[in-house]
A and B are shown apart, each in its own frame.
Chain A
Amino acid sequence: MTDATSNLAGGRTISLPLSKAMEISLRSLKIRFGRSLITTSGVILAIAFLMSVWSNNAILDSLKNADKSEINLLLQQNGIETGPTDGGGVASAEVAARMLEERSKQTWLISLSLLVCVVGIANAMLMAVTERYREIGTMKCLGALDSFIVKLFLLESTFQGFAGTSVGIIIGLAMTVCLALLDYSTFIFDYFPVEPIVTAALYSLAIGTFLSLVGAMLPAYRAAKMEPVEAMRSET
């Protein structure tokens, strides 16, 4: 008793090594690679869509701002209004309004796809938790704190989200560039909007990873609140 209490007060209590949590969650992903690939594909698709919309907008803006007659011709062939966007004429106001409408429609679509993506992640993580009830219970029996379990699942989902988002960004960008190449040939490289696209990629990365984190919150909380007695259940 005495040494128990002194230890309790001593402060060298259960530490929560982040590196260990990362190691475990990475390996859990590896061992269930097939399933986590399916989960990740949801993120990949959503982010690829987001990225392609953003980079497409960036490329078009850049081409429009170049204001070269041959490019404008190509733009018009593809049904895109040209002309100075900052002009004060009636025509340009109309163009701006139409563009605004177009963009808000895009935002709506993007939001929907991201929402679907979060629901997918939450669903997959809930399954992962249910599947590992006994594993979680065992860890709690061995002295894992709730926060360690939460960390485990949040990390797992974040890794998944990060990887999926990265792939999604590359796919989305590559697709956009290919399509733009068909329509506007190499002009896009002359006016390639490097900075906006890098910004868009960074935003996508942040959004994708953040959404994976959000999607995993409820499942991770459920896992952490599990009673260690679950580990004792013998049925598989």
Chain B
Amino acid sequence: MAEEQGQPPQEEKRTVVRTQQVKKEYKMGSTTVRALQGIDLEVYSGEYLSIMGPSGSGKSTLFNMVGGLDKPTEGKVYIDEVDVAQLDAYELAWLRCRKIGYIFQSFNLIPVMTALENVTLPMVFAGLTSDESRDKGMVLLGKVGLGDRYSHKPFELSGGQQQRVAVARALANDPAVVLADEPTGNLDLHTGTEIIELLRDMNRASGVTIISATHDYKMLSVSDRVVWVSDGQVERIANREDLDIEVAQVGGEDE
């Protein structure tokens, strides 16, 4: 994969998430559904990776595996070279707290807490003092452009603003990976674009790896790589430079 201008330097191209022959089966009554049938995937540090695929393709399952939210039936998932299956509940919580930031389709801010408190919650779990976390939280809220709205509750914010708070929250503990599950799914076109750009900016500025599950074609133009999943298998992986032509075509249809 050739380096492109504007990307963070990736001399060593460290692998941050690695899956090895990951298979996942669900038992639904007497039948067994094979959601994933042996996926090998490497996610490099600092890249912006999109996982695309229709619903039912195993996209969400793969995404949850990569995020340490689900354990494979067979195969292994390594996050930061740690085998997720080997971790106990305590270590998993630690991993989720420190190494992974989550962004959800439906924002999932805690309704009883203000924007600032939502952002600082992961820091509280990580054991920061309230002073430290407040300062850091304000910086993060400033970065996502909501510095003046820190005292607002989620219901006082628009969808796009809520998702910005969620982005700040995902970055709270300087994670290695940010997982964004359909981050634009509940947003209109314009706001969705803003969130995608925000994610891209964060990715460039802090070098955080972003993995996003999506079927939003706007996401393609900012992704370094795109993984297409279908029928529980990786259909193909496209690099950024291969994408540009397609995006021009598809983007035209989409908008």
Q: Could you tell me which A residues sit within 8 Å of B by CB distance? A: 1, 4, 7-8, 12-15, 17, 20, 24, 27-28, 30-31, 134-135, 137-146, 148, 227-229, 231-232, 234, 236
Q: Is the interface of A mostly helix, strand, loop or mixed?
A: helix
Chain A residues within 8 Å of B105, by CB = 232, 234
Range for the number of chain B residues in contact with chain A = 35 or more
Chain A residues within 8 Å of B99, by CB = 4
In angstroms, Cα B106 to Cα A15, docked, is 28
Chain B residues within 8 Å of A24, by CB = 110, 112-113
Give B103's nearest chain A residue, CB to CB: A141
Q: How far is the CB of B80 from chain A (nearest CB, A)?
A: 6
In angstroms, Cα B91 to Cα A137, docked, is 17
Chain B residues within 8 Å of A146, by CB = 89
Q: Could you tell me which B residues sit within 8 Å of A by CB distance? A: 60, 64, 69-70, 80-82, 89-91, 93-94, 96-100, 102, 104-106, 108, 110-113, 121-122, 124-127, 169, 173, 181-182, 185-186
Chain A residues within 8 Å of B98, by CB = 4, 7, 143
The reply to whether B89 and A134 contact each other, CB–CB distance below 8 Å, is: no
Chain A residues within 8 Å of B106, by CB = 134, 234, 236
The reply to whether A15 and B122 contact each other, CB–CB distance below 8 Å, is: no
In angstroms, Cα B122 to Cα A191, docked, is 58
Chain A residues within 8 Å of B97, by CB = 14, 142-143
The reply to whether A14 and B102 contact each other, CB–CB distance below 8 Å, is: no
Q: How far is the CB of B194 from chain A (nearest CB, A)?
A: 20
In angstroms, Cα B254 to Cα A110, docked, is 68
The reply to whether A229 and B64 contact each other, CB–CB distance below 8 Å, is: yes
Give B185's nearest chain A residue, CB to CB: A234
The reply to whether B125 and A144 contact each other, CB–CB distance below 8 Å, is: yes
In angstroms, Cα B112 to Cα A140, docked, is 16
> Contacts A1-B80, A139-B121, A234-B105: A145 and B113 contacting too (C-beta < 8 A)?
no
Chain B residues within 8 Å of A148, by CB = 125
The reply to whether A142 and B113 contact each other, CB–CB distance below 8 Å, is: no
- Pairs A-B, 8 closest by C-beta atoms: A143-B97, A143-B125, A15-B127, A1-B81, A27-B112, A138-B108, A142-B122, A229-B69
Q: How far is the CB of B140 from chain A (nearest CB, A)?
A: 14
> Contacts A231-B104, A234-B105: A8 and B91 contacting too (C-beta < 8 A)?
yes
Q: How far is the CB of A145 from chain B (nearest CB, A)?
A: 5
The reply to whether A227 and B69 contact each other, CB–CB distance below 8 Å, is: yes
Give A7's nearest chain B residue, CB to CB: B98
Chain B residues within 8 Å of A138, by CB = 102, 104, 108, 110
The reply to whether B182 and A234 contact each other, CB–CB distance below 8 Å, is: yes
The reply to whether B96 and A228 contact each other, CB–CB distance below 8 Å, is: yes
Chain A residues within 8 Å of B124, by CB = 17, 20
Q: How far is the CB of A18 from chain B (nearest CB, A)?
A: 11
In angstroms, Cα B110 to Cα A12, docked, is 25
Chain A residues within 8 Å of B108, by CB = 134-135, 137-138, 231
Chain B residues within 8 Å of A232, by CB = 60, 64, 69, 104-105, 181
The reply to whether A142 and B125 contact each other, CB–CB distance below 8 Å, is: yes
In angstroms, Cα B93 to Cα A27, docked, is 24
Show 8 A/B contacts (Cβ-Cβ < 8 Å), sorted by A. A8-B91, A13-B94, A27-B112, A142-B125, A145-B90, A145-B93, A229-B64, A232-B105
Give B112's nearest chain A residue, CB to CB: A27
Q: How far is the CB of B211 from chain A (nearest CB, A)?
A: 13
> Contacts A4-B82, A14-B93: A229 and B70 contacting too (C-beta < 8 A)?
yes
Q: How far is the CB of B183 from chain A (nearest CB, A)?
A: 12
Chain A residues within 8 Å of B60, by CB = 232
The reply to whether A142 and B96 contact each other, CB–CB distance below 8 Å, is: yes
Chain A residues within 8 Å of B112, by CB = 24, 27-28, 30-31
